[in-house]
Amino acid sequence: MVQKQLSAAGPGPEPKKRRRVGFSPADTGVEANECIKIYLVSSKEEVGFPEVPCVNPVDLNDFFDGDGKIYGYHGLKINVWINSISLHSYADITYKSTTNGDKGITDLKSALQNIFAETIVDNKDEFLKTFSTEKDFIRNMVSNGEVVHSGVIDGSRINAQVEPLDLQVLRMEIGSPNAGLLYSRLVPLVLLFVDGSNPIDVTDPDWHLYLLIQKKEHKEEPLYQILGFTAVYKFYRYPDRLRMRLSQILVLPSFQGKGFGSYLVEVVNKVATAENVYDLTVEEPSEKFQHIRTCIDINRLRAFDPIKPAIDSAVQTLTKGKLSKKAQTPRFTPPLNAIEKVRETLKINKKQFLKCWEILIYLALDPIDKYIEDYTSVITNHVRADILGKDIEAPKKQVVDVPTLFAAEASFVVFKSLNGEEAIQVDENKPDQEEQLKQLVEERIREIKLVAEKVSKLRI
């Protein structure tokens, strides 16, 4: 037996060995916006081609649970290719390594299917085949569609990249054959490129798709490609009219900035007029779309003779004197008969017409610099009224607490001040409110000038 030798100092406890504890670095994740790039292509040769520009979707972080980050991957890159002919998609996913940290590993396949649903193809070779096997998809889907317009529109400006004669706008009721399938393939584009939008209810027959199609000559049969579309809802207005509400509109990124959005809106305007609906409204328009819509409506209104006397009258009143120095500034709203004529003839609803009215007056003031102070007073009046939700010229009522021998919660005095004077109480936050009002007015004036500049150029 071998015994352990003891030191001269005698036996004693052995020193404890320290256990080394290693901590892996925390997984901070990567934002979806930083690692996902999306490409829209129309041929298999463009897939992977470095010169193809990526397109900018809305916030991709919204499609990933929690904080919008992807966890568990190092060096992650996701390139998504969308076939603009068949609307199929393929995701090329590469990464250096994975780490199963405290946040786990994000299920990329599931996350991407939440966006692309059945349009996503797992295999790249299968995706490349869709450019040939599915080349007639759009043509087959819209074969039963109603052609509501084809060719040019008077006054519209289409980029020379596409021949106007090759354009068609087809209408399909969502419940008609093929329309539901077609829209299901459009849904990923809606989610990616229409901010805050949700898919429409394909079981509701009152939805209609307006599809902007380009017919390109291609061997034996023409090749159909979707440039854009809009979803319009028809609903009842008592007692016997229908209204149209434009809910979604999208021009594919490759074709944006070329006049196709305006073209599509002008076609819908023509349909609304031809079918004599009550009016045409827009559901929560984005700032960019509202600008386009207003430019179109301004041009229509400037050519609408019945409202010209009302515009001339408003301009004549505004140019008479220093309105900004007066205690009360007139509202300069259009007369009721003008509002009704515009709605009945052009199908422009009251809210939109009031926005356009301000711009029509601005365009009629010559020189504008001479009258800009008074014009700003008018806009300030409008903005203040919009905030208060009522006409500021109306007498104001104020509720004031007063000393009382009765129950305090049941006792009050109502004062009515005339001419908008605040005779009783002064809001302590009024300076801040006035500054906010000033900023809103400046923003409104900026929007008016942008539209006025745009429509003035179009008339040259």
- HEC sequence for the chain: CCCCCCCCCCCCCCCCCCCCCCCCCCCCCEEHHHHEEEEEECCHHHCCCCCCCCECCCCHHHHCCCCCEECCEECCEEEEEEECCCCCEEEEEECCEECCCCCCCCCHHHHHHHHHHHHEECCHHHHHHHHHHCCCHHHHHCCCCEEEEECCCCCCCCCCCCCHHHEEEEEEECCCCCHHHHHHHHHHHHHHHCCCCCCCCCCCCCEEEEEEEEEECCCCCCEEEEEEEEEEEEEEECCCEEEEEEEEEEECHHHCCCCHHHHHHHHHHHHHHHCCCCCEEECCCCHHHHHHHHHHHHHHHHCCHHHHHHHHHHHHHHCCCCHHHCCCCCCCCCCHHHHHHHHHHHCECHHHHHHHHHHHHHHHCCCHHHHHHHHHHHHHHHHHHHHHCCCCCCCEEEEECCCCCCCHHHCCEEEEEHHHCCCCCCCCCHHHHHHHHHHHHHHHHHHHHHHHHHHHHHCC
Residues 234 and 139 grouped into a single domain? yes
Q: Are residues 378 and 451 in the same domain?
A: yes
Residue 415: what pLDDT? 54
Q: Is 258 annotated as ligand-binding? A: yes
321 in a known ligand binding site? no
- Residue 57 or 160, more confident: 57
Please check if 353 is assigned to a binding site.
no
283 tagged catalytic: yes
Q: Same domain for 219 and 188?
A: yes
315 and 178 fall within a common domain: no
Q: Which domain holds residue 51?
A: 30-132
Same domain, 101 and 139: no
Domain CATH for 167: 3.40.630.30
Mark which of 84, 103, 132 sits at the end of a domain. 132
Based on the fold, state whether residues 273 and 308 are members of the same structural domain: no
Q: Which of 245, 279, 313 is the last residue of a domain?
A: 279
Q: Is the pLDDT of residue 327 over 60?
A: no
pLDDT digits (tens, 9 = 90+) for 1-21: 334 344 444 555 555 555 555
More confident residue, 300 or 429: 300
Flag whether 235 is marked binding: no
pLDDT digits (tens, 9 = 90+) for 249-306: 999 999 999 999 999 999 999 999 999 999 999 999 999 999 999 999 999 999 999 9
| Claim to verify: residue 127 and residue 60 sit in the same structural domain | yes
User: Which range has highest mean pLDDT (32-41, 212-221, 326-335)?
Assistant: 32-41
Is residue 274 one of the residues assigned to a domain?
Answer: yes
- Residues 61 and 126 reside in one and the same domain: yes
Domain for residue 450, yes or no?
A: yes
Pick from 98, 132, 166: which residue ends a domain? 132
The answer to whether position 6 is within a domain reads no
Of these residues, 275, 283, 422, 443, which one is catalytic? Answer: 283
Please indicate, yes or no, if residue 169 is contained in any of the structural domains: yes
Number of domains in the chain: 3
Asked whether residue 149 is domain-assigned, the answer is yes
For residue 248, say whether it is annotated as part of any ligand binding site: no
CATH code assigned at 110: 3.90.360.10
- pTM: predicted TM-score of the whole model, two decimal places: 0.83
Q: What is the mean pLDDT of the chain?
A: 85
In a domain? residue 59: yes
- Tell whether 407 is covered by a domain: no
Q: Is 132 known to sit in a ligand binding site?
A: no
Lowest mean pLDDT among 18-27, 41-50, 101-110, 211-220: 18-27
Residue 261 marked in a binding site? yes
> Do 335 and 248 fall into the same domain?
no
